Amino acid sequence: MGGTFDPIHYGHLVAAEMARTEFLLEKVIFIPTGTPPHKDRIVTSASLRYEMVKRSITDNPFFDISDYEITKEGPSYTVETLRYLRKEYSNHELYFITGTDALKEILFWREAEEILTLTQFIGASRPGFDASDFLNTIQQNHPEIRGKIHGFEVPALAISSTDIRQRIENGQSVRYLLPEPVRLFIEELKLYHERS
């Protein structure tokens, strides 16, 4: 599961856990992006985002984290990460977990065709982002990839990192939107408190 995770929250964790159990995945690897090519705002340093993901997964033995994207030079492109994972896990099937907002974009990602030879996709429902038109179009018009893109329903959590950052900046509570160790880490370092 790739993402900016700025910061990680329960929307990410529920999507990951439900994908794991629904699709019988051996484990879920969280891969925080290094320099995201598609984000136009300044994101929190990769090492702090990595640290927050790490703190939020310690209690789940099936969750793991990779620093592949944050330690490599230059912008992160999913296709390169998948080539790396394909080699690293040569005997495994790969599934890329996204929310339905990201799922609808995948055909526009760099080397989308190649990506779909490397992995399948699991798109977890996300409030406000209905992917049924997208999934229907794939079903009807793209027989070559329809077996590789799976939508599924997760308990709806209308949580986003953007909203969490905003709340912190406004002095509002974010308790119960993200794991407590992450909330305390943010408090301790006063992340997101100042308007940049």
Residues that bind ligand ATP (CB under 6 A): 3-6, 11-12, 15, 98-99, 101-102, 124, 126, 157, 159-162
Q: Which is nearer to ligand ATP, 102 or 168 (CB)?
A: 102
Q: Report the nearest approach of ligand ATP to the CB of residue 91 (Å).
A: 26
Min dist CB 192 to ligand ATP, Å, is: 11
| 88/105 with CB nearer ligand ATP | 105
Nearer to ligand ATP, 54 or 126 (CB): 126
- Cα–Cα distance, 133 to 16 (Å, whole number): 23
Provide the b/e sequence for 43-61 (b: ≥16 CB within 10 Å): bbebebbbbbbbbbbeeee
Pick between residue 128 and residue 142 the one whose CB is nearest to ligand ATP: 128
Q: CA dist 161 to 6, 10, 74, 139, 177, Å?
A: 6, 10, 23, 31, 10
Residue 100 and residue 125: Cα distance in Å, rounded?
A: 5
Backbone angles phi, psi at 46, to 5 degrees: -60, -40
Q: Report the nearest approach of ligand ATP to the CB of residue 134 (Å).
A: 13
CB of 75 to ligand ATP, least distance (A): 16
Smaller CB distance to ligand ATP: residue 17 or 80?
A: 17
Residue 175 Cβ, how far from ligand ATP at the closest point, in Å? 17
End-to-end CA distance of the chain: 28
